[in-house]
Amino acid sequence: MSLERLWNGWRSQYVRGFNEGERNEPGRSVFTKILESGASDEEAHIVHRGGTCFVILNAFPYATGHMLVLPYREVADLEDLDAAESTELWATVTAAVAAVKRSHQPHALNVGINLGAPAGGSIAQHLHVHVVPRWEGDANFMTAVANTRTLPEPLDDTAARIRAAWKQEETR
């Protein structure tokens, strides 16, 4: 069964900007490349930066508002995090959940981590936690029945909404 695709031209510049010609470079994840690229947070769709961790929108989201929470340091496994990274990672996951609840009012959320490629980790060398908003009747059935994903909002708009909600949470 082949995967059908809906054309999302607005995403091509983002994908090309960080992946073109570098996809198979060993030893450095796409996240490390983004951090080293010199791109602004707006260009990279980074919605929050902390001391040891940051939050970026997933370039290939399962749903609008799909974020990844990860340490700056490229490590593959939870046990490779130092105490400060581990503490901040989980606090940042909680803050990401609060921010997306405020910005997008999802009915529910999936929060998860895939450790290793066989577990579904597409970028297994750089640990990241998924925060995925979900809605009653959302279009995620499209992936199962039509091998297609639908996204109603450009990443730039999603990032702006989440950044604004994050700032509101920080001032509370």
CA of 166: how far to CAs of 7, 51, 55, 93, 148, in Å? 30, 16, 11, 12, 30
Mode of pairing for the β-strands spanning 129-134 and 53-57: unpaired
CA of 148: how far to CAs of 68, 105, 143, in Å? 21, 24, 5
Contact 45, 163 (CB under 8 A): no
What pLDDT was estimated at residue 5?
Answer: 53
pLDDT reading at 127 higher than 60:
yes
How is domain 28-167 classified at the architecture level of CATH? Answer: 2-Layer Sandwich (3.30)
pLDDT reading at 152 higher than 90:
no
User: What's this model's pTM, rounded to 2 decimal places?
Assistant: 0.78
Query: For all residues of the chain together, what is the average pLDDT?
Result: 82
pLDDT reading at 171 higher than 70:
no
What pLDDT was estimated at residue 170?
Answer: 72
pLDDT reading at 17 higher than 50:
no
What pLDDT was estimated at residue 153?
Answer: 84
Question: pLDDT tens digit string along 57-98?
Answer: 998 888 899 999 999 999 999 999 999 999 999 999 999 999
Name the residues annotated as catalytic. 128
DSSP H or E segment with residue 26: none
Overall average pLDDT of the 131-152 stretch: 67
Report which of 48, 15, 47, 49 is spatially closest to residue 33, judged by C-alpha positions. Answer: 15
Cα 143 from Cα 118, distance rounded (Å): 20
pLDDT reading at 149 higher than 90:
no
Record the tokens describing residue 74, joined without a space: 């490229």
Computed from CA positions of residues 131, 137, 138, 141, in that sequence, does the dihedral angle turn out positive or negative? positive
> What DSSP character marks residue 27?
T
- As a whole-number percent, the residues of the chain with pLDDT over 70 amount to 75
Question: pLDDT tens digit string along 37-65?
Answer: 999 999 999 999 999 999 999 988 888 99
CA of 89: how far to CAs of 54, 120, 169, in Å? 8, 20, 17
Record the tokens describing residue 63, joined without a space: 């749903």
160 by DSSP, 3-state: which?
Answer: helix
Contact 93, 70 (CB under 8 A): no
Record the tokens describing residue 166, joined without a space: 């994050």
pLDDT reading at 113 higher than 90:
yes
What pLDDT was estimated at residue 16?
Answer: 46
What pLDDT was estimated at residue 3?
Answer: 56
